[in-house]
Amino acid sequence: MSVPQPVIPDYQGANLVGLIPAFSAPAGHRPQWVPEPIQGAEQVVLFVIDGLGWLQLKERSHMAPALSNMIGGPITSVVPTTTATALTSITVSAPPAAHGIVGYKLVVQGEAGREVMNVLRWRTPSGDVRQTVDPAAFQPIIPFGGRPVPVVSKAEFNGTGFSTAHQRGAALAGWVQPSSLAVDVHRLVAEGAPLVYAYYEGVDKVAHFQGFGDHYDAELIAVDRIVADLLDSLPAGVALAVTSDHGQVDVGPRARALDPRLAGEIEMASGEARFRWLHARSDVAGSVESLAAMAGDLYGGEAWVATCDQIEADGWFGGPLTPVVRARLGDVAVVPFEPVGYLAPSETAEPLLVCRHGSLTPEEMFVPLLGQRGRLAT
């Protein structure tokens, strides 16, 4: 069979890393890929809907009239197409190679030695590691370029390790129920904030646990109502920009454990099911090449298999990796282009997930960038 080409992010063009600089530029001096309603707006609200890929939205456009009436199209996410990496690239305006959050589960030096840290929870199997893995040092770029951009997000995210890493310094307007999101955005716009960042995670959660179907459709309809509420709460001089961090692929029961033949070739596995890192044994000469060959034999018919050096050279991360960032990754990546996933031995709860993301397929890589002016009568 022919192997498809991965969708490489357009880090220099229409990509998540360019959103904040584009919207912070003076009105009328924004890149051409920015939708027309945003071009001349003096104030912009950026609403990030977690897990809403461009292709999934287009397939269901009839269910989302507010989103479908907005102007714009697809842009690219980052690598891996995962929340921790993409949200950080948005807020710090840098590709993964620069900010260092190059995945969902990364290797850190913990009290028990090298461990895999869940970035969203800032935890390893040993527990919370905020005291030993400083989020501000782990991701050193100042979010929003140091500008006082307010963040409207779920209240429970305030003060977490990941929030510190990618949103520190921002004033958080924490909502308890989604109905409050438009209320808080309206207040911040009325107070004169040039740029407001808002975030909602419901679509991603439903896709993970219930897949594409009636529940997903109901959630899309609900988030479309939030978009409509936002537009109703914003004056005509304010633009609403809607994007996402990644799309989704329905994997369902096709997620499976790593082949047991790899056990003797690796020290550990990190990453996630659709961007799985294999860490070669350090006590065997030539182990990286041997591991890459074995992984290619096992998975080459359904996944891109490449060494970290190859991925870096091909520009997947948007630049060279420093030794510090390189140490967070494995040696060989197995990145499926088919709707499958690969589970590490420690991921006992992972088979429960239905939809997944992380790879470089069009379904995961393309996200919407849509714009519309507010419609509040003044």
Q: What does the pLDDT look like over 60-73, one tens digit per residue? A: 999 999 999 999 99
The full DSSP string for 57-120 is HHHTGGG-HHHHTSEEEEEE--SS-SHHHHHHHHHHT--HHHH---SSEEEEEETTEEEEEETT
pLDDT value, residue 1: 66
pLDDT tens track for 279-309: 999 877 779 999 999 999 999 999 999 999 9
pLDDT value, residue 284: 73
- Work out the percent of the chain whose per-residue pLDDT is above 90: 90
Q: 56-70, 176-190, 227-241, 344-358 — which is least confidently predicted? A: 344-358
User: Beta-carbon neighbour count of residue 10 at 10 Å?
Assistant: 16
- Work out the percent of the chain whose per-residue pLDDT is above 70: 98
List Cβ neighbours of 274 (8 Å cut-off, separation of 6 or more): 80, 249, 251, 335, 336, 341, 356, 357, 358, 359, 364
Q: Per-residue pLDDT for 348 more than 70?
A: no
Q: Per-residue pLDDT for 115 more than 70?
A: yes
pLDDT value, residue 235: 96
User: Beta-carbon neighbour count of residue 148 at 10 Å?
Assistant: 11
Q: Amino acid identity, residue 50?
A: D
pTM for this structure? 0.97
Element (H, E) at 375: none
Tokens 């190859």 belong to which residue?
310
Distances (CA, A) of 378 to 2, 37, 232, 237: 57, 18, 11, 10
Domains in the chain: ranges and CATH: 16-249+360-373 (3.40.720.10), 252-356 (3.30.1360)
Strand partners, 279: 268
pLDDT tens track for 257-279: 999 999 989 999 999 999 999 99
